[in-house]
């Protein structure tokens, strides 16, 4: 594992625990000698995880669509990649990352992490992905995922492939042991 992609909010959120976890995650990325790949912003959780990763001496690559260029980009990145579209941004994030973690965030975070989960489900990816569930932020979404399994829209094995934890160290330990169980996506034909 070389690079960890982090999806998270460009806002800090209301709970100070979100910023604390973003900082801890950046520290853990650096402590493990890994690089950070993320959306390139200097704001909110995005800025916090980048700052703490950089402070630990690790490389940080920001990938940002040109619509945001010159507005919110972090000034101290190791590398900034500007793309024409969000689709290009996500493709590059996927290509250069070895694992994915979602911190709290909004629609952009949800969309990015769900796409990675889908790629894992259909076999397009075998890279570990997880959720850092800070103070129960993702509890309702995780319940909904359970409902999707119960209603036979998602296989239990695919849901179990998503690593969920509340501790940044533990999520990395689980990533190191991750082995994708390949099962057919189709439940009923």
Q: Decide: 38 and 62 in contact? Cβ < 8 Å.
A: yes
The per-residue pLDDT for range 88-135, each reduced to its tens digit, is 999 999 999 999 999 999 999 999 999 999 999 998 999 999 999 999
**pLDDT at res. 69:** 85
**pLDDT at res. 189:** 64
Q: Decide: 46 and 18 in contact? Cβ < 8 Å.
A: no
CATH of the domain at 103: 3.40.50.450
Mean pLDDT of all residues in 156-166: 96
Task: Extract the tokens encoding 144.
Answer: 């909904």
**pLDDT at res. 96:** 98
Residue 86 domain-assigned? yes
Q: Decide: 163 and 99 in contact? Cβ < 8 Å.
A: no
**pLDDT at res. 74:** 92
Residue 58 domain-assigned? yes
Residue 184 domain-assigned? no
Range of the domain at 96: 3-176
Q: How many C-alpha atoms does 21 have within 13 Å on its Cβ side?
A: 29
Residue 34 domain-assigned? yes
β-strand partners of 41: 73
Residue 182 domain-assigned? no
**pLDDT at res. 186:** 74
The per-residue pLDDT for range 167-179, each reduced to its tens digit, is 999 999 999 999 9
Q: Decide: 62 and 82 in contact? Cβ < 8 Å.
A: no
Residue 186 domain-assigned? no
Higher pLDDT, 24 or 185: 24
How many domains does the structure of the chain reveal?
1
Residue 123 CA: distances (Å) to CA of 44, 82, 157, 161, 180: 33, 28, 13, 12, 9
**pLDDT at res. 53:** 98
Residue 185 domain-assigned? no
**pLDDT at res. 180:** 85
DSSP E strand boundaries for the chain: 3-7, 35-38, 60-65, 79-83, 99-102, 129-132, 162-165
Predicted model pTM: 0.95
């Amino acid at each position: 594992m070389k690079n960890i992609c982090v999806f998270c909010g460009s806002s800090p959120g209301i709970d100070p625990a979100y910023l604390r976890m973003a900082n801890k995650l950046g520290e853990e990325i650096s402590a493990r000698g890994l690089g950070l790949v993320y959306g390139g912003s200097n704001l909110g959780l995005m800025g916090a995880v980048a700052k703490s990763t950089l402070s630990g001496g690790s490389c940080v690559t920001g990938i940002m669509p040109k619509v945001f260029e010159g507005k919110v980009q972090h000034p101290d990145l190791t590398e900034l990649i500007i793309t024409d579209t969000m689709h290009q941004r996500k493709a590059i994030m996927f290509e250069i990352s070895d694992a994915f973690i979602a911190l709290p965030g909004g629609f952009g975070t949800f969309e990015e992490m769900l796409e990675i989960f889908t790629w894992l489900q259909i076999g397009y990816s075998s890279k570990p992905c997880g959720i850092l569930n800070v103070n129960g932020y993702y509890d309702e979404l995780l319940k909904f995922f359970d409902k999707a399994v119960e209603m036979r829209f998602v296989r239990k094995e695919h849901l179990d492939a998503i690593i969920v934890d509340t501790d940044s160290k533990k999520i990395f330990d689980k990533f190191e042991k991750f082995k994708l169980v390949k099962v057919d996506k189709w439940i009923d034909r």
